[in-house]
Chain A
Amino acid sequence: MPKPMALPITPFAGFGLGLRKPHYVEFLERRVAVDFVEVISENFMVDGGKPRQILRDVRASYPVALHGVSMSVGSADGLDGAYLARLRALVDEIEPLFVSDHLSWTRIEGFSSHDLLPLPYTDEALALVCANIGRAQDALGRTMLIENPSTYIAFEGADMTEWQFLDAMCARSGCGLLLDVNNVFVSATNHGFDPIAYLNGVPHERVRQIHLAGHSRGQDMLIDTHDQPVPTYGTCTRMSCRCSGRSRR
């Protein structure tokens, strides 16, 4: 039997916000001037109760992007079927604008780190990530967006740069990109590459969403803490917006 195609991403342009607990009351009580909200998928992949009801209520008034942190598309032992089934149930109920996760791994052989761990940009990793994204898109019936990570380790013996990896990943798996400008800046600073070369190298036509966030300065490197004001990033942001001309957070 032929395999059904994953649903393509509907065109959308607008400004969104990451919806967190402190925002719930405001979003439920009045119209907030955003075009969409983004939530952490796992916070709502629960059986029921208040969190799921809040998401239903918010969805009644705003388009919602589901942004995951635990799919682990870089796991060498593949994806978690139970996780995919729960995410599919949430996707079917919420009918999200986008479904995204990170170019990273969090889980291996039953251990879950709950952190976005780095991948070496090798041919082996590329083949594995593309196979995992393909399985996820089949399970979800949707084209996914994959976000570039902040990383603190650069692997020796890489076969390609991160932007070359992203380009090949999009071409092979058909996924789109969630371009996180903060993550480009953090990784470029930590590993000494040129962020402009990165932004020139990613496949612009695949960028469907942009993240802006803040970071902290650690002892030896920048850390993606999401707890600081968003810097202007200057050229990076302007280039990123030109990349997509679409939605940004």
Chain B
Amino acid sequence: MSLLALQRDMRAWLVAADADAASRYGSAAAAGLLVYQNTYRAQLVACLEESFVQTRAWVGGEAFHHAVVAHIERVPPTSWTLDAYPRDFPATLAVLYPDDPEVAELAWIEYALGEAFVGPDSATLDVGALAYIDWDTAKLQFTPTLRLRALTTNAPAIWSALFAEEAPPAVQVLPKPGAILVWRRDQVSLFRAIDCTERDALLRATAGVAFPDLCAELVEVHGEHTGITRAGTMLGQWLADGLIVGVTILQR
């Protein structure tokens, strides 16, 4: 048998416990194949347990283990790094818990915090430089660790309580759908729940829309006073959060 065929058989054994594939390794290999399959699954289980500590605490150990087993069967690992394996687990939880959206939202928060922790480095904008910025022609540059996701529940409050080893609040569905942003400032991963206005503004700004154009869009939707006030408040919050790492001055 060719090396490629052997390796395809091993994959079939590890992923699907394919007995035909295993038999082609010969009967003497049976005990060894079990060792490899056990190691394969144990690595993935450990990876998900370490990556989703609060989600596990929320759903309970047994339910979490069932979800992990389902995920390992549904999504074989593809990346050279185990750090990538947790990426699709929130989607599996969304399938397994269709009536409990906070479960997948909790898991996404944990995954995104982990991803931000090892994301690209960037220096927060020096506040001293702000005085010289012409905001009428400014385009904001955000930290490359910034991630956004839709939010329908109070999952951030649940996560925070679990992380602090306090009694978590009961699940609440948000009166209006919102969003959550996750990023890293210096060496610390952070998150903040936001409303849809800020989510839309962040999506536009990170897509390259200049700040004055963003202000004009907010004025169009909310009126001059509220629009300008909201733009100023969001900009101040983004700067305070360390989300902005640079400002490009556009030539107009």
Residue ranges of A at the interface with B (Cβ–Cβ < 8 Å): 42, 45-53, 70, 72, 74-77, 80, 82-83, 105-115, 117-120, 122, 124-125, 128, 151-156, 190, 218-221, 223
Residue ranges of B at the interface with A (Cβ–Cβ < 8 Å): 2-4, 6-8, 10-11, 14-15, 25-26, 28-29, 31-33, 35-36, 39-40, 43-44, 76-83, 85, 116-121, 144, 184, 187
- Inter-chain contact B81/A47, CB cutoff 8 Å: no
Given contacts A48-B118, A221-B32, contact A42 B81 (CB under 8 A): yes
- Inter-chain contact B187/A49, CB cutoff 8 Å: yes
- Inter-chain contact A125/B118, CB cutoff 8 Å: no
- Inter-chain contact A218/B77, CB cutoff 8 Å: no
Q: In terms of DSSP, what is the predominant structure of the interface of chain A?
A: loop
- Inter-chain contact B10/A70, CB cutoff 8 Å: no
Other-chain residue from B44, B80, B144 in contact with A42 (beta carbon distance below 8 A): B80
- What would 22 A/B residue contacts be, using CB atoms closer than 8 Å? A49-B187, A50-B187, A80-B80, A82-B80, A105-B7, A106-B80, A110-B78, A111-B11, A111-B15, A112-B77, A114-B40, A114-B43, A114-B44, A114-B85, A115-B36, A117-B7, A120-B3, A124-B2, A153-B32, A154-B29, A221-B32, A223-B35
CA distance A118 to B144 in the complex (A): 39
- Inter-chain contact A49/B119, CB cutoff 8 Å: yes
In the complex, what residues of B have CB within 8 A of residue A114's CB?
A: 40, 43-44, 77, 82, 85
In the complex, what residues of A have CB within 8 A of residue B10's CB?
A: 108, 113, 117
Given contacts A47-B121, A115-B36, contact A83 B80 (CB under 8 A): yes
- Inter-chain contact B3/A49, CB cutoff 8 Å: no
CA distance A83 to B79 in the complex (A): 9
- Inter-chain contact A112/B80, CB cutoff 8 Å: yes
CA distance A114 to B81 in the complex (A): 8
**B245 → chain A closest CB, angstroms:** 12
